[in-house]
Structure 1
Amino acid sequence: MKKGIALISAIILIGITIVAVGIIYNSAVPIVKKLQISGETEKMKQVFNKLDEIVIDVASGGKGTRRTVYLTMGLGRLWLNSSDNSLYWKTETSAKVVSPRTQQKTGNLIFGSNLETYANETQYNGTDAYVLENEHLRVYIRKIGSPQNPEHYKTSDLLLSVYNKDIRKSLDLDGLEISIDSNPLSVSGQGYTVLSEKGKNLPYATVTAYMSSGYIDYYINFTLESGEDFIIIRGGLT
């Protein structure tokens, strides 16, 4: 199937994104099916690399420069997201073409699986915060201090809100407190929070809270993965 895409410098941005979704591998999948989707994926990588070159060329040509490109597509779906000026190709398969929740970047090209997470800085009810968001949840975590300027906080201050999109309801966070060895001195101290990576089309996003308490120094990771309706909380000693 051929599709014609008109690239006009006035509306096209250089950023191009490719998304391929891989589902858990099933050993019963015929090898020919895996070869088929692998071949189609590699072909689309080459297509998007070429499109990236064309977009850059059109953008350098000045306002009104136009180029029409014809694509021959087999599997998957192709669409242009005008809100972020990105071109996407997405396909679903039971063959293990790419590991779940992985991402590879080559220039303006992003290739990966389960790239449905967004992370950024924001405010929540007037409080500086980080937001982690995927298809199911929108999570707000307090932004606290910095490595150079740690601030005093309690672990119960960290998680501001967890909104479940599926049921359209914020979850009850009353009484959520993190401690080490149930020691009351470990629930507060000096520290800061930091976001691992900002942006969209992420396989997952993590906010880390560093705590220097009166009992022990430790960190807490709050991780939201694409496709999941829960957050993962893990910690360790620093």
Structure 2
Amino acid sequence: MKAITLISTIIFIAVTIAAIGVIYYAGMPVINKLQAAATIENMRGTMSELDEIIQKVASEGKGSKRTLNLKMDRGTIFVNGSEDVIYWYYETDAEVISPRTYQKYGNVLIGANMETNATEGTIYARPAYILSNEHLRVYFKKFGGSDNWTSTNSSQFLMAVYNKDLNTWMPLDRLTIWVDNQSTSETGTGYTTIETTGKYLPYGTVTAYMQSGYINYTVNFTLESGADFIEIEIGQGV
């Protein structure tokens, strides 16, 4: 009986260990997600506390200062003095935050894939909307307005594309947009707008509104963080 008991015990222990191993490996994504979520939440609290201190010191005037003990288990902190931004970078396989989304808590912004900038500027001495990320810097013609429909051609929407990876301007002859293969949809009146301007965005979108001789339509040009291409979407006009 002792031998049987011993054998039974050994088998039981082996099965138990195997079961624990299966549960452990099966539960790893959940564990990683919980750990990542806890890390992000802790850092959010730290950043919020840091923001409060910065605001208080700024209100006290020149010469005011504080000492802050910053505890950081994971990630890397960058300070951009020219933009007055403190950036915490944390890489994880756990999908705690959906890609290219963000949440804002006062002055603290938490998001995933936030490498897109959307600004206004010029190129070739002409007004432009500019979308840029890690790979591309794309220029779109800025013209007209909702109360100022201007004569235009769809080939004028996209002005230039600079590839940061290749360190060169891309050879761009022209981008012409036709609807239903109708050439009359290329020309008309319209204007362009930018959805949101700012830095550290999940994506940027420039929209062209067009009233052509064939049909009214919109064109959305979107550059997402991490992408080395532009998404072009044709929609219903106004």
Name the TM-score class by shorter chain.
0.7 to 0.9
Q: Give the residue type in structure 2 aligned to 1:80.
A: V
**Within 5 A, what are the aligned runs for 1:128-167?**
128-167=127-166
Q: Deviations over 1:53-102 (max 9, x none)?
A: 11111111110101010011101111211121111111000011100000
1 CA distance for matches of 2:76 and 2:230?
A: 30
The residue number in structure 2 matching 1:188 is 187
Alignment of 1:228 with 2:199, yes or no, is no
The residue number in structure 2 matching 1:93 is 92
Distance 1:100 1:28, change over 3 A: farther
CA contact (8 A) 1:29 1:95 kept: no
The structural deviation recorded for 1:29 is: 4.4
1 CA distance for matches of 2:140 and 2:209?
A: 13
The structural deviation recorded for 1:31 is: 2.4
Q: Which region of structure 1 is more displaced relative to structure 2, 98-107 or 134-143?
A: 98-107
**Within 5 A, what are the aligned runs for 1:13-52?**
29-52=28-51
Q: Which region of structure 1 is more displaced relative to structure 2, 106-115 or 202-211?
A: 106-115
SS at the partner of 1:138?
strand
1 CA distance for matches of 2:29 and 2:220?
A: 39
CA contact (8 A) 1:223 1:233 kept: yes
SS at the partner of 2:177?
coil
Which consecutive residues of structure 1, in runs of 5 or more, have no partner in the other structure? 1-26
The structural deviation recorded for 1:156 is: 0.4
2 CA distance for matches of 1:128 and 1:147?
A: 17
Computed over aligned residues only, the root mean square deviation of the Cα atoms, in angstroms, reads 1.2
Alignment of 1:121 with 2:157, yes or no, is no
The structural deviation recorded for 1:230 is: 0.3
Distance 1:29 1:124, change over 3 A: farther
Relative contact order (C-alpha < 8 Å, sep 6+): which is higher? 1
Q: Give the residue type in structure 1 aligned to 2:119.
A: N
If you compute each CA radius of gyration, which structure gives the higher value, 1 or 2?
2
Alignment of 1:218 with 2:217, yes or no, is yes
Q: Give the residue type in structure 2 aligned to 1:104.
A: Q
The residue number in structure 1 matching 2:177 is 178
The structural deviation recorded for 1:32 is: 2.0
Higher strand share: 1
Q: Deviations over 1:26-56 (max 9, x none)?
A: x884322221111110000111111111111
The residue number in structure 1 matching 2:60 is 61
| TM-score normalised over the length of structure 2 | 0.86
CA contact (8 A) 1:29 1:94 kept: no
2 CA distance for matches of 1:117 and 1:34?
A: 25
Identical counterparts, % of pairs:
48
Q: Which region of structure 1 is more displaced relative to structure 2, 209-218 or 72-81?
A: 72-81
The residue number in structure 1 matching 2:207 is 208
Corresponding residue pairs, total: 212
Q: Give the residue type in structure 2 aligned to 1:63.
A: K
SS at the partner of 1:208?
strand
Q: Which region of structure 1 is more displaced relative to structure 2, 103-112 or 193-202?
A: 103-112
**Within 5 A, what are the aligned runs for 1:95-110?**
95-110=94-109
Structure 1 residue runs of 4 or more that deviate by more than 6 Å after TM superposition: none
Higher helix share: 2
1 CA distance for matches of 2:27 and 2:234?
A: 38
